[in-house]
Amino acid sequence: MGYNFNWSAVSGGAPYVTLSSLGLAFNSVSIEKLGCPEKIIVGFDEEKCVIGIKAYNNETGIKAYDFANRKKNGWIRIGCRDFMKYLESLVDMSFSPAKKYVAQYNDSEKTLIVFPKKNKNNNTETEIDDLLQ
């Protein structure tokens, strides 16, 4: 049985996505999970209150955000103020000051997933696993 160790995992930390009143910010680990694409798309499952982020693959009718070229000090920030106002109203919390979330990566969907209500509702691992499927 072979292993596939990531030797920088401990020093790099968790894949964080920070939600602020202005938009989303991605740390270096979350950037790496996405493969540091030139552009990304951001989706939202309103029923489950889950944000999905994945590489843009020329999908039509979807707003793509510049990504790789926005890297500064190991972070990438994406502005989406109107969406954040909407999200604040749905989760009944403010993202000012910003709140940091550990993102989950769904390999089959190639999507980084953020659960904005996780901290508020204390979702269990089983509930999160159900949301990932």
The count of structural domains within the chain is: 1
- 7 inside domain: no
- 119 inside domain: yes
Residue-range definition of the domain harbouring residue 56: 14-132
Q: Among 66-75, 100-109, 112-121, name the one with the lowest average pLDDT.
A: 112-121
Long-range CB pairs of 85-90, under 8 A, 24+ apart, other chains included: 85/21, 87/19, 87/44, 87/51, 87/116, 88/21, 90/46, 90/49
User: pLDDT tens, 39-66?
Assistant: 999 999 999 999 999 999 999 999 999 9
- 44 inside domain: yes
- 4 inside domain: no
pLDDT at site 118: 61
- 8 inside domain: no
Model-level pTM?
0.81
Band the pLDDT of 13: cuts 50, 70, 90.
confident
pLDDT at site 126: 41
- 3 inside domain: no
